[in-house]
Amino acid sequence: MIGYTTIGTNDLERARAFYDAVLAPLGGRRTLSYQRSQYYGSPSRGAMLGITLPFDGEPATTGNGVMVALSSPSPAEVDAVHAAAMAAGGVCEGPPGQRMDNFYGAYFRDLDGNKLCIFQMSPG
């Protein structure tokens, strides 16, 4: 149902480098590139994640309670994405682990403070 979602950045080149590293374990790659934004996607997944400089020219800020969740096919991939985020300068908001019987996930903030989750959910 979701076609794409965007999160703000104050430094697009720095955000591109961060997400190039973080999304690689998911097979994520740059799809659409524009002067003010960068989108990432995967051939096997329809929705895209966009990183953008705010249209109004004001500084990008994070929303309280806002989080983007990225699905993963395995706990090992959850671990790899979280490790990539930490290596790229992200901040841990919850290390990889089993949260519920059928939910394995990890949480982190990007270089602009946006909160993301990487998770694997099995049929339960």
CATH number of the domain within which 99 lies: 3.10.180.10
Domain limits at 22? 4-121
For 69-109, what is each residue's pLDDT tens digit?
A: 999 999 999 999 999 999 999 999 999 999 999 999 999 99
Q: How many CB atoms lie within 10 A of CB 13?
A: 9
Average pLDDT across the chain, whole number = 94
| Measured CA distances, 17 to 7, 14, 23, 60, 95 (Å) | 15, 5, 10, 18, 22
- Please count the structural domains in the chain: 1
The pairing of strands 68-71 and 37-42 is unpaired
